[in-house]
Amino acid sequence: MSRRVVITGIGMITALGHNTCDNWQALINAKTGTGRITLFDPEGYESQVAGEVKDFDPTNYMERKEARRADRFTQFAFVAADEALKQSGYEITRESGTRVASIIGTAIGGITTLMQEYDVLRDRGPGRVSPFVVPMMLADMASGQLSIRTGARGVNYALVSACASGADCIGEAANIIRRGDADVALAGGAEAAVTPIAIAGFVAARALSTSWNHAPEQASRPFDKRRDGFIMAEGAGVLVLEAEEHARARGAHILAELAGYGATSDAFHITQPDENGEGAMRAMQLALKQAELDPDDIHYLNAHGTSTPMNDRLETLAVKRVFGDYAYSLPISSSKSMMGHLLGAAGAVEAGVCVMALQNGIIPPTANLEEPDVDCDLDYVPNVARSASLEAVMSNSLGFGGHNASLVFRRYEPAS
């Protein structure tokens, strides 16, 4: 019999705040964190809006030497993991560290360092390139450096599945605990891709919003008729997952249970979702099956909800295929309407949002939803948070390459 997996800590840093509490308060008050890009001069770029982490000084959270040897995405992972571990009350020791996994995903990795060092190479020559450029830009370095920082000496790797990365890391970390290969896991995602090449590239792929540079706080508008693309964002989300018996043995406060995880591939197109929503549908069905829940047991769905015309329409179709008539009664919202799209960190942050929703009995809204698309005709909790009795919630994450991941969380109840 596989072990139950519970959540004992949440950490997040996004455009809405540097900790979970600040993020949660912004979300339930429909406060948006998107604005004009400041990390570089966006003049001349078709998309000039991003969800940047504001007023971030890494030396407030780590030693200067450690900060200098960590890319911005890794620094974000440190902040989120530190908060999650502190909330969990779990101390990783030399003895226990062998049973602690570190699994932190990303879509793009250390692109900030790569761009900075390319400029050094071009302007000053190869002899001036930093010896840390390779380890700082590698996609696994948030996970690897977090392992070093915390002493987690169990399973240690990064999953890269585009915008499903953070959710996949949490789901796979739970599977590792279930099969007995770890007792605890630091799992989530981190991203810092607000860079000239990433913005230009996503614009070229026709994925970013280009019509709302004049009103950046309104640019991310999932399910709205006037949506025209997603808003790039940065940050990190990390959960502390534990085997139930491990958490109970040490008297931990259990926030929720991670009951189900499903992952599929569209096998359809490098950037477009399956035109019938089948891949996302199957991921949700697999998560429900693992959780041993029926569709109408889900009381809230945190949608992928990117604000792109195709994603929102096809995710809506997939939800209808899974939930049937109940889809029209199911409250759904998109956190990306307020924080932007954190790419590989999105699913991890949104998993934390789902746990907070369970804890507080509040469904965060979809901001900027003023005129619903006729093809997006479900209950997207527009603009105002809603109190609700929540027993089980679902979170979807979908990514370029056809990746689909769905997580199911439920209110924790000890076995009788």
Going by C-alpha positions, the residue among 189, 145, 183, 182 that lies closest to residue 352 is 189
- Whether 246 is catalytic is no
Catalytic residue among 18, 246, 299, 304: 304
Q: For residue 280, list its beta bridge partners.
A: none
| Residue 399 contacts residue 107 (beta carbons within 8 Å) | yes
Q: What is the 3-state secondary structure (H, E, C) of 301-349?
A: EECCCCCCHHHHHHHHHHHHHHHHHHHHCCCEECCHHHHCECHHHHHHH
DSSP H helix total and E strand total for the chain: 13, 14
Listing DSSP states for 188-219 in one string gives EEEE---SHHHHHHHHHTT-B--S-TTSGGGS
Going by C-alpha positions, the residue among 301, 320, 319 that lies closest to residue 409 is 301
Catalytic residue among 18, 163, 169, 376: 163
How many other C-beta atoms are found inside a 10 Å radius of the C-beta of residue 254?
A: 18
Token pair recorded at residue 102: 């570190």
Q: For residue 191, list its beta bridge partners.
A: 235
- How far apart CA 292 and CA 285 sit, in angstroms, is 10
- How far apart CA 403 and CA 392 sit, in angstroms, is 23
- Whether 169 is catalytic is no
How many other C-beta atoms are found inside a 10 Å radius of the C-beta of residue 135?
A: 18
- Whether 376 is catalytic is no
Element (H, E) at 135: helix 133-137
Q: How far is CA 58 from CA 16, 29, 74, in A?
A: 17, 27, 10
Token pair recorded at residue 82: 């530190």
Going by C-alpha positions, the residue among 314, 361, 385, 336 that lies closest to residue 15 is 336
Side chain identity at residue 367, one-letter code? A
- How far apart CA 289 and CA 283 sit, in angstroms, is 10
Going by C-alpha positions, the residue among 280, 340, 346 that lies closest to residue 313 is 280
Place of tokens 């099969």: 179
Q: Which residues are catalytic?
A: 163, 304, 341
